[in-house]
Structure 1
Amino acid sequence: MDLVSVIIPIYGVEQYLDRCVRSVVNQSYAHLEIILVDDGSTDRCPAMCDAWANKDSRIQVIHKPNGGLSSARNAGLDMATGEFIAFVDSDDYVEPDYIATMIDAAQKNHADLVMCSVFHEDADGNAIEQTAPVRRKEYAPITDTLRTCSGIDCMRQRGEENGVDNVVAWNKLYRCQLWKDLRYPVGKLHEDEFVTYRIFGRTRTAVLLPERLYHYIERTGSIMHTKYTLQSLDIIEALIGKVRFLLDEGAMDLFPVFFSQLKDSIYKARQLDWSDAQVHKRLKELFRMFRTIPWSSIRYLPFKDQVNYMGTRLCPFLFWGRKTYGEKGAVKGDTQ
């Protein structure tokens, strides 16, 4: 029986922690190594972690200074000894057969990665797809029937559909070899966007499951529901890396899909004041990175995005200033 390491990064979630850990402890698949990573939490979470470790010998606790989600996940990965690895966010919880169903699919299909469908709920436990019909497609199961594919084909088959579930660390079971020499970028927001496409690139066989086995809680105070800040620009860096990776992998049909996401992320950056010195400096760094996307790739883009590519590559502040923020002290014509 294969050992599964379940990594739970923890910070400031005392209201939700017991529910999360209980759902993992009570898995029908019992051969688990449960790693609770206390990322310097200042509430009752450290004591709660230790109490759980005293109740269940499968639980190991890491107490570390606060370093953010990437740092906490990396600490768990460094300790993990299982043949398979799963992540569960500490304000979420999982179905009793979460691990059993996914490891069964992995073993029967000789898969490197298994991904299940997700319940999207608000903090009160209400299913969000029932209250947000406009976004129903986003919250649908990732597949109607069990499907197998390569990691790149998984991205290709799904494209933008259910994009969030495709990117996040949770709702997946990974063979441990996928994480060799790969860790999350410490200090970056949108850390999943920097890593998951690399995992897919290493995946020979992935399994997509229609079963909803993971309960994702959308809290208004969570990282992804906070104000757009300077650090939010990290998504641009991540997507530049992703589109370059797809070109290197020869996935030319996927390039337009994710270039469009990159373009949209630059558009959203207009929420910041581009004349602010720190914002301007960071954008200059990002536009230099953008220029590493080769000219030859433009032929794979529709005409509108060819224009966006050329404008962003040649004269980004002027181009996006004309499109978005022109009047309020915008920096014009800066192409460095």
Structure 2
Amino acid sequence: MDLVSVIVPVYGVEQYLDRCVRSVVNQSYRHLEIILVDDGSMDRCPAICDTWAGRDPRIRVIHKSNGGLSSARNAGLDVAGGEFIAFVDGDDYVDPEYVSTMIGAVQDVHADLAMCSVFHEDADGNAIAQMVPVHRREYAPVTDVRRTCPGMDCMRQRGDENGADNVVAWNKLYRRSLWEDIRYPLGKLHEDEFVTYRILARVGIAVLLPDRLYHYVERAGSIMHTKYTLRSLDIIEALIGKVRFLLAEGVTDLVPVFFSQLKDSIYRARQLDWSDKQVRMRLKALFRLFRTIPWSIIRYLPLKDQVNYIGTRICPFLFWKRKTYGGKSVVEEDAQ
């Protein structure tokens, strides 16, 4: 029986942590190594972790200084001994068959990764709907029927309906070898966007499951509800890396999809004051990085996005000032 390492990053989630750990401890698949990574939490989380470790010998607790979600996940990866890896965020929880169903699916076809569907809920357990495109409905499963596909095909599932479920670290079971020399970037928001596509590129066979086995809890303090800040620009950096990777790997049918996401992310950056010194410095660095996307991308983009690429590459501040604001003087040009 293969050992599965379940990594739970923990920070500021004392209200939810017992439910999370209980859901992992009570998995029907018993051969688990449960790694609770206390990322310097200032509430009762460290004590809760230690209490659980005293109850179940499968639990290992790492107490570390605060370094963020990437740092906590990396700490778990560095000590994990299982043949397979799973992540569960400390404010979420999983169904009792979460591990059993995914490892069974992986073993049936000798796959490298399994991905289950997700139940999106609020803090009271109510289903959260999404806008698609003119009405609200429950988030779609990652697939309608169980099926296998190459790893990169995971990025083709359901498009904009639930693209986040394909990117996140949780709701997946990974063969441990996929993580060799790959870790999460420290100090970045949207850390999954920097990493998941690199993992999927290594996956020979992935199994997609319609079963909603992971409960993602969208609470008031989650990233989805935080204000757009300078750090929010990290998504632009991540998507530039993804587009360059797809071009280099020859996965050109996905280039227009993720270039469009990149364009939309630059558009959303208008929420910041582009004349602010720190914002402008960060944007200048990102636009320099944008120029590393080769000109060859043009042949794969529709005409509108060809214009977006050329304008952003040649004169980004002026281009986005006129495009986003119709000439309104919000993004100030200067002589820098």
What TM-score bracket applies, with the shorter chain setting the length? over 0.9
In structure 1, C-alpha distance between the alignment counterparts of 2:186 and 2:305, rounded to whole Å? 32
Residue 12 (structure 2) pairs with residue 8 (structure 1): no
Q: What is the match of residue 293 of structure 2?
A: 293
Give the 4+ runs in structure 1 shifted more than 6 A.
130-133
Q: What is the match of residue 137 of structure 2?
A: 136
- How far 1:135 moved relative to its partner? 4.2
> Structure 1: which amino acid aligns with 2:57?
S
Q: Match of 1:136, SS? A: strand
Contact 1:119 1:214 in 2 (8 A): yes
Q: Match of 2:311, SS? A: helix
Stretches of structure 2 lacking an aligned partner (at least 5 in a row)? none
- How far 1:183 moved relative to its partner? 0.3
Q: Match of 1:63, SS? A: strand
Contact 1:159 1:254 in 2 (8 A): no
In structure 1, C-alpha distance between the alignment counterparts of 2:237 and 2:68, rounded to whole Å? 18
Q: Which moved more, 1:25-34 or 1:325-334?
A: 325-334
In structure 2, C-alpha distance between the alignment counterparts of 1:20 and 1:154, rounded to whole Å? 27
> Structure 2: which amino acid aligns with 1:294?
P
Contact 1:102 1:116 in 2 (8 A): yes
In structure 2, C-alpha distance between the alignment counterparts of 1:318 and 1:129, rounded to whole Å? 37
Q: What is the match of residue 302 of structure 2?
A: 302
Q: What is the match of residue 332 of structure 1?
A: 333
Q: What is the match of residue 236 of structure 1?
A: 236
- How far 1:234 moved relative to its partner? 0.2
Q: What is the match of residue 85 of structure 1?
A: 85
Relative to the length of structure 1, the TM-score reads 0.96
Query: Pairwise mapping of residues 142-221 of structure 1 onto structure 2 (< 5 A)?
Result: 142-221=142-221
Contact 2:322 2:328 in 1 (8 A): no
Q: Which moved more, 1:243-252 or 1:54-63?
A: 243-252
Q: Which moved more, 1:153-162 or 1:121-130?
A: 153-162
Q: Quote the sequence identity (%).
A: 78
- The verdict on how the C-alpha distance between 1:131 and 1:281 changes in structure 2, with shifts beyond 3 A counting, is closer
- How far 1:71 moved relative to its partner? 0.3
> Structure 1: which amino acid aligns with 2:62?
I
In structure 1, C-alpha distance between the alignment counterparts of 2:159 and 2:302, rounded to whole Å? 16
Q: Deviations over 1:75-121 (max 9, x none)?
A: 00001000000000000000000000000000001111100001000
Query: Pairwise mapping of residues 33-44 of structure 1 onto structure 2 (< 5 A)?
Result: 33-44=33-44
Contact 1:318 1:333 in 2 (8 A): no
> Structure 2: which amino acid aligns with 1:332?
E
Q: Match of 1:254, SS? A: helix
> Structure 1: which amino acid aligns with 2:333?
K
Q: Match of 2:201, SS? A: helix
In structure 1, C-alpha distance between the alignment counterparts of 2:188 and 2:212, rounded to whole Å? 29
In structure 1, C-alpha distance between the alignment counterparts of 2:68 and 2:97, rounded to whole Å? 29
Q: What is the match of residue 22 of structure 2?
A: 22
Residue 32 (structure 2) pairs with residue 57 (structure 1): no
Q: Aligned-residue CA RMSD in angstroms?
A: 1.6
Contact 2:321 2:330 in 1 (8 A): no
In structure 2, C-alpha distance between the alignment counterparts of 1:285 and 1:7, rounded to whole Å? 34
Q: What is the match of residue 109 of structure 1?
A: 109
Q: Match of 1:145, SS? A: coil
Q: Deviations over 1:285-332 (max 9, x none)?
A: 000110111111111101110110010000000000112244445233
Query: Pairwise mapping of residues 237-276 of structure 1 onto structure 2 (< 5 A)?
Result: 237-276=237-276
Stretches of structure 1 lacking an aligned partner (at least 5 in a row)? none
Contact 1:317 1:333 in 2 (8 A): no
In structure 1, C-alpha distance between the alignment counterparts of 2:333 and 2:131, rounded to whole Å? 43
Q: Deviations over 1:149-189 (max 9, x none)?
A: 11112223443341010010000000000000000000000
- The verdict on how the C-alpha distance between 1:157 and 1:121 changes in structure 2, with shifts beyond 3 A counting, is closer
In structure 2, C-alpha distance between the alignment counterparts of 1:64 and 1:155, rounded to whole Å? 34
Contact 2:130 2:136 in 1 (8 A): no
Residue 66 (structure 2) pairs with residue 100 (structure 1): no
Q: What is the match of residue 71 of structure 1?
A: 71
Q: Match of 2:96, SS? A: coil
* Matched residue count: 334
In structure 2, C-alpha distance between the alignment counterparts of 1:322 and 1:3, rounded to whole Å? 56
- How far 1:333 moved relative to its partner? 7.4
